[in-house]
Structure 1
Amino acid sequence: MDLFDSTWTDADAAATDLALLPVGSTEQHGPHAPLGTDVLTAEAVAEAGAAAYDGEVVVAPAIPVGVAEEHRQFTGTLWVSEDTFRSYVRETVASLAHHGWDRVVLVNGHGGNVGALREVAATIARHDAAYAVPFTWFEAVGDHGDDMGHGGPLETAMLRHVAPDLVREERVEEAREGSSDGWGEWVSYANLAVDSAEFTENGVVGDPAAGPAERGEELLELAGEALVSLLAAVESRDVSLPPHK
């Protein structure tokens, strides 16, 4: 059930304790892909997982602004501090739990959110009347994950499958020419770069031309299947705390 489109009476009738909370970012994705890429992909994966799951799942509205200051030089990028982000996620989960949806998977589409989501999920599980698990879709697509860049093949492929009208196809070659091969400037296993503008001319990492819609369809299927398995584990898990020793 999609909360955004439902009435409160529809929500009241939902007989489940499972919820999905998509989490993304509003940030640059090169000249060819929309600022909302990470929100769109997180929502698509959440919807696919909910549709395929053998049971009812509540899908909450997406959190659209995340931890993205690393893209601040590119116009349109929005960001909040990690503290603000963690608080927003935690309080949103608390409101879901208030209505009985107290087992929540945080479906993430932005790499910059990963650390904060891991931390806040642990805080929720330890201290709140809820249980939360972070799930980042591009970590759940097998060998495809090796190609994850930024506005590169994976995200472009997903967009071409779920929101093709938003991909500026006439700018893909421009995106490719101004991209970098990898994320950061690495020396002795340390990244010298703080912001993406230090190593990519137009914000793109990877080759967006290597992301056809057919690949996006496969990515969505793989991520959706992984999410279904995770939902089953979350639903059946004993989340009571072990006794103190």
Structure 2
Amino acid sequence: MHLPDSTWTEAGALDTDLALLPVGSTEQHGPHAALGTDVATAEAVADAATDAYDGEVVVAPSIPVGVAEEHRQFPGTLWVSPDTFRSYVRETVAALAHHGWDRVVVVNGHGGNVPALGEVCATISRRDAAYAVPFTWFEGVGDHREEMGHGGPLETALLRHAAPDLVREGRIEEAATEAAERWGEWVSRVNLAVDSAEFTENGVVGDPREGSKERGEELLALASAALVELLSAIEGRDLAPPERR
């Protein structure tokens, strides 16, 4: 059940403690993919998992602005500090838990959110009246994840399947021609680059031409299946804290 589309009486009638909180970013994804790519992909995976799950799940409104200052040179990119992002996620989960939806998966579509999400979900589970875990969709797609990039084959494929209006098909060739081959500028296993503009002229990493609609369908199936498995594990998990040793 999507909270924004429901009434308070419908929300109150739900018999579940499971919730999904999609989070993403509003940031550049090259000349061919919309600024809202990370939100759209997180929502697509959350929706597919909700449809497939054998039980009720609450889907909270998405958080559309994340930790994305690394894309600040590209117009339209928005960002907040990690502290602000962690606080917003934590307080949103607390509000969900207030209504009894206290087992929460934060469904993430943006790599820059990962460190902050790991920290805040651990804090929630240790300190608050809730249990939260992060799930980044492109980590749940098997061997495909090796080609993640940025605005590259995976994101382009999933958009083509789930939100085709967000892809500017006439700019795919341009996006591919000027794309970087890998994320970052690496020396001795250290990334010397702070911002994406240091290593990609147009914001793209990877070849979006390899992101077909059919591949997007497969990616959505893989990611949503992984999320369904996670929901099942969380629903049955004993949340009692371990004994002191």
Q: TM-score range by the shorter chain?
A: over 0.9
Q: Which deviations, in whole Å up to 9, do the C-alpha atoms of 1:201-228 show, x marking residues without a partner?
A: 0000000000000000000000000000
Q: Which deviations, in whole Å up to 9, do the C-alpha atoms of 1:50-82 show, x marking residues without a partner?
A: 110000000001000000000000000000000
2:60 is the alignment partner of 1:60: yes
Residue aligning to 2:174:
174
Residue aligning to 1:131:
131
Per the TM alignment, residue 243 of structure 1 is displaced from its structure 2 partner at its CA by 2.4
Residue aligning to 1:232:
232
Matching residue's letter, 2:233: A
Per the TM alignment, residue 244 of structure 1 is displaced from its structure 2 partner at its CA by 2.4
> Under a length normalisation based on structure 1, what TM-score does the superposition of the two structures give?
0.99
Per the TM alignment, residue 118 of structure 1 is displaced from its structure 2 partner at its CA by 0.4
> Under a length normalisation based on structure 2, what TM-score does the superposition of the two structures give?
0.99
Residue aligning to 1:116:
116
Whole-angstrom distance in 2 between the partners of 1:93 and 1:224: 21
What is the aligned-residue identity percentage?
Answer: 77
Matching residue's letter, 2:221: E
Per the TM alignment, residue 32 of structure 1 is displaced from its structure 2 partner at its CA by 0.3
Per the TM alignment, residue 242 of structure 1 is displaced from its structure 2 partner at its CA by 1.5
Aligned counterparts, 1:1-245, within 5 A: 1-245=1-245
**Contact 2:37 2:166 (C-alpha < 8 Å) held by counterparts:** no
Matching residue's letter, 1:86: R
Per the TM alignment, residue 172 of structure 1 is displaced from its structure 2 partner at its CA by 0.5
Whole-angstrom distance in 1 between the partners of 2:81 and 2:169: 33
Per the TM alignment, residue 112 of structure 1 is displaced from its structure 2 partner at its CA by 0.2
Matching residue's letter, 1:87: S
Whole-angstrom distance in 1 between the partners of 2:23 and 2:166: 19
**Contact 2:32 2:169 (C-alpha < 8 Å) held by counterparts:** yes
Q: Aligned to 2:21, what secondary structure does the other structure show?
A: strand
Q: Which deviations, in whole Å up to 9, do the C-alpha atoms of 1:32-56 show, x marking residues without a partner?
A: 0000000000000001111100000
Per the TM alignment, residue 240 of structure 1 is displaced from its structure 2 partner at its CA by 1.3
Matching residue's letter, 2:49: G
Q: Aligned to 1:67, what secondary structure does the other structure show?
A: coil
Q: Which deviations, in whole Å up to 9, do the C-alpha atoms of 1:84-111 show, x marking residues without a partner?
A: 0000000000000000000000000000
Whole-angstrom distance in 2 between the partners of 1:226 and 1:133: 13
**Over the residues paired in the alignment, what is the CA RMSD in angstroms?**
0.5
Whole-angstrom distance in 1 between the partners of 2:166 and 2:100: 36
Matching residue's letter, 1:28: Q
Whole-angstrom distance in 2 between the partners of 1:143 and 1:154: 11
Structure 2 regions of 5+ residues with no counterpart? none
Whole-angstrom distance in 2 between the partners of 1:239 and 1:71: 38
Q: Aligned to 1:107, what secondary structure does the other structure show?
A: strand
Structure 1 regions of 5+ residues with no counterpart? none
Q: Aligned to 2:105, what secondary structure does the other structure show?
A: strand
Whole-angstrom distance in 2 between the partners of 1:99 and 1:231: 18
Whole-angstrom distance in 2 between the partners of 1:195 and 1:239: 39
Whole-angstrom distance in 2 between the partners of 1:188 and 1:242: 40
